[in-house]
Amino acid sequence: MQSSEILISVIIPCKNEEKNILRCLGSIIAELKNIGRSEVLVIDSRSTDKTVEKAKQFPVSIVQLKENWDISPAAARYVGCLHTIGKYRLFIDGDMELIPGFLGQAIDFLEKHKQVAGVAGLGSEFYIEGGNLENMYKRKQSIAEVDVLAGAGLFTGAALKAVGYFNPFLKAEEEHELAQRLKKADYSLFTLPIPMIKHYTSKGMGNFERRLKAGMFKGIGQMFRLTLELQTFSLKYFLGFKSFISFILLLIVFMVALSNLLFLGNSLLLQGVAGFMVLILLISCYSKKGIKSGILSFYKIFLINLQIFSGLFYKTPEISNYPNDIIVIKKEGV
């Protein structure tokens, strides 16, 4: 079958999404009834729950990454690109729900604007603990060109192929890294004032620990190094990480202070650094209205920035080095 016969491929990276996958796939299958020829591919990142078992209930293909591979959302997105053939590729995570009406309007926009590589819409975040966040990506209520499409997005297969797809070795920020390569190739990205997804997640400590364990904070530093090497580094994007920039500046001052102590016997600057850290901790406790919550917030911010810094020392392998002998769990005819 030629790729021109498939209008849209839906690529769904997931891991341990048994609580969300039915809702996710249900919304996608329902929406595709209003679209042309399509295919749906679920890429499972070694789930240990019933994600795969539940996904089998739908007319979708399911593949799985192998245990000894670098496993991440970026890897799943990359594998999804290699094993789908649609003119357009929709990336949506297993903990998301597709809102009816987005796909048709997004495809129409891409058909009319050939140099646009991808589009996305508005999203809302729903927390397990209760409550929700409207316009979670803070997108404009009008058609707007943007630097990156975070989370879900609809891309043209041609643009993705032209720049080499997502980098499967990135632990985080793969959307930004891809966006910079697309920009270098004279493509653009847009957001539309159309509801696109609902995202179901947690805002508690568990979500932080999951990201830490997956190396996602370290992946930010990894991405910065990679974009410097590829000459696609975005200073504007980097400046958005204000706490990390402050961390780097403080680290530099600390090294100077330590050198003063070791070589000149002057501890005044080092004492100043220590005093400044205590001040930040006190401010954190005040803003969080509690000593325990303040210390926890301080600890999380420090650990995140330390992880980002460590990622700067990781050299990312070439995209072509990622293996492709995936495990095929289910193949749905298209």
- Using the predicted structure, report yes or no on whether residue 334 has a pLDDT greater than 80: no
Percent of the chain with pLDDT over 90: 73
Q: What is the mean pLDDT of residues 130-140?
A: 83
Domains of the chain: 3-203 (3.90.550.10), 206-327 (no CATH)
- DSSP sequence for 97-145: EEPTTHHHHHHHHHHH-TTEEEEEEEEEEEETTS-EESSTT---SS-EE
Q: Which residue's structure tokens are 């990359």?
A: 78
Give Dmax (Cα) for the chain: 75
Dig out the tokens for 36 from the structure: 């042309």
Please give the backbone phi and psi of residue 201, each rounded to the nearest 5 degrees, phi first.
-150, -170
The pLDDT assigned to 333 comes to 62
**295, 205 in Cβ contact below 8 A?**
no
Report the range of poorest mean pLDDT among 63-67, 221-225, 230-234, 283-287: 283-287
Q: What is the pLDDT of residues 241-265, one digit of tens each?
A: 999 999 999 999 999 999 988 888 8
pTM score over 0.85: yes
> What is the end-to-end Cα distance of the chain in Å, rounded?
9
Strands 61-64 and 327-330: antiparallel
The pLDDT assigned to 85 comes to 95
pLDDT band at 205 (very low <50, low <70, confident <90, very high): low
Residue 41's CB: how many other CB atoms inside 10 A?
24
Is residue 31 exposed (0-12), middle (13-18) or buried (19+ Cβ within 10 Å)?
A: buried
Report the range of poorest mean pLDDT among 24-38, 192-206, 306-320: 192-206
Dig out the tokens for 143 from the structure: 């058609």
Q: What is the pLDDT of residues 267-288, one digit of tens each?
A: 888 898 899 888 988 998 888 8
From the list 108, 140, 96, the residue with the least C-alpha distance to 121 is: 140
Contacts of 111 (CB under 8 A, 6+ apart): none
The average confidence (pLDDT) of the chain is 92
- DSSP sequence for 171-235: SS-HHHHHHHHHHHTT-EEEEEEEEEEEEEE--SHHHHHHHHHTTHHHHHHHHHHHHHHTT---H
